[in-house]
């Protein structure tokens, strides 16, 4: 039975956090609306598929781009504002769905 292996390191995580903190400050918080997409994309792109013996046989390639879903992002941003943040609980699940739909398996 196959498994998944993620090679997203703590150093990459720290670098990503620093970048997103800077973006959040510069955009006055607007970057946080697209942050979940890029967090999931980054982790998926560092994930390999392993066969039953543990050898890598492929990897995930997430091609999500904010240009693909700008309408989706704007709609959810408005919903989050109108519902005083309550829509964000649903937004998280929707983000995962959108990112997974933009992900393909590339076999070696």
Domain that holds residue 24: 3-107
Predicted TM-score (pTM) of this structure = 0.87
Query: In the chain, how long is the greatest CA-to-CA distance?
Result: 51
Instruction: At 60, give phi and psi (nearest 5°).
Output: -85, 140
Structural domain tally of the chain? 1
Residue pLDDT, tens place only, 34-88: 999 999 999 999 999 999 999 999 999 999 998 888 888 899 999 999 999 999 9
pLDDT at 17 over 90: yes
Residue 69 pLDDT: 83
């Amino acid at each position: 039975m196959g498994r998944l292996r993620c090679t997203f390191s703590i150093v990459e995580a720290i670098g990503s956090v620093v970048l997103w903190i800077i973006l959040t400050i510069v955009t006055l918080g607007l970057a946080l609306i697209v942050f979940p997409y890029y967090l999931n994309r980054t982790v998926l792109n560092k994930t390999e598929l392993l066969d039953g013996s543990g050898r890598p046989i492929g990897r995930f390639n997430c091609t999500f781009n904010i240009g693909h879903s700008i309408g989706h992002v704007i709609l959810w941003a408005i919903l989050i504002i109108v519902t005083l943040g309550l829509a964000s609980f649903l937004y998280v699940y929707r983000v995962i769905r959108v990112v997974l739909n933009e992900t393909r398996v590339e076999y070696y």
